[in-house]
Chain A
Amino acid sequence: MKHLLSIDDLGIKDIYKIFEYAFQFEEVLKRPIPIVPTFKGKTIVTLFYEPSTRTQTSFTLAAKRLSCDVINFSFATSSILKGESLLDTIKTISAMKVDGIIVRHFSSGVPHFLAKKLVKKNIFVINAGDGTNEHPTQALLDGYTVYKKFKKIKDLKILIVGDIKHSRVAHSDILLFKKLGAKVFISCPHQFLPIDFENMGVCYLKEFKKELPNFDCVITLRVQKERHNLNYLSSMREYHYLYGISKKDLEKMKKEALLMHPGPVNWGWELADDVIDEERCVILEQVFNGVAVRMAIIFLLLQEKV
């Protein structure tokens, strides 16, 4: 593994290796002093062109728990506002001899572009979300959360609900769960259905509420109000009624099933606000697992970089 740009770059073995390491790092995170000295002296830059709390914090924490130095570079306080181009920014950062760059950008393909530009520099790139394309580390932590619960992923029934078309989480999740042999179902309002969904190898459900007892895991997606004006949607109540999960819906799910959300949640839209305290709702577990999974990814990228 040289970079992590897309779930497509990973083999099944790579994914399980990440899970295996994440499990070890979970133990590290539970120690009295939850930090290991593995990468003392390594430097990682987080380059976020889009606002983010959990992903950037999670990556920062993961890198620090491995004793890396972390520089957080955010859009609002950088020279980008003075008109510096992406290429100039990346040249400047790589001249500072860093070891890895974690990038989030509103345009799809930016991480791939950076990886190409850094090819001779021995600097890894992790895609922390690019436009509507992919968010591979979110998929890996989703997969890890499911794997930890069921000890397998093959043949599980996974339902992804919401804005499939614009959601990079959905795209990476579909790739990951399909790769590991799960059966993936999607459900969404028609305007959120990708044009090419027939080629994605998923099963489209116009309505899913009656089938809730069949799924092992339901992943709800955030309604991305910032990506499209709200003319896309009729009303919160209608969306919630058709595609949101209420406590009543949750009760229809299997006892051991999981309800997930990549966050941040629009309460009242994707989820009713009384599901957060339910045992089956594992949103905060996803956040915890995210740190361990990102430690595993950084570990494998830095360790193989001799």
Chain B
Amino acid sequence: MDTELNAGEIHRLLDIEEIRALLARYSHLCDARTDTSFVREIFTQDATDDHGLFGKVFRGWAELEDMYQRSSEFLETAAHFVTNEQIEVSGDTSTARSYVQCWTWLRESSHLGKLRPADYVLVGVYHDTLARTPDGWRISSRLLRPLGTGALGLGTPHPVYFAAYGEAPVGTAGTAGTAGSAR
């Protein structure tokens, strides 16, 4: 195998692996965060992030940190499972598409204890553009678009998501922990 790959192919495969690792590292850093400085390890300095949250597109490290800070006010913790990566590299730029299922625990449910199930699961697609920087690949723009009819996989979302992804369909009203009522 070693002799069948030329330098260009190896270079391209390493780019794809580095970008795949970056997408995974976003999950690990975002979910474990004690502060919002992780955005500087993932995004370019002038990156845009359109999560559909808070009614605006966030641009640059300071605004991105603000977006994650604001979401921390109602999120206790989350777990971003990123799969189905489709990564294309062209020189020093890349486009990547990946699915995300985000298991989410709200602060307002914390009285239900540590062993409570997630309040809801958000499902969506990240549409990313990436740039090769001196520090490695970084996301330069991220767009989150809903999967399903309104990005809600299971459970009852925080109201901020109704604004982002449409009115709550009839019959979705429920109590915290619906994602866990698997039986």
Say whether A and B bind each other.
no
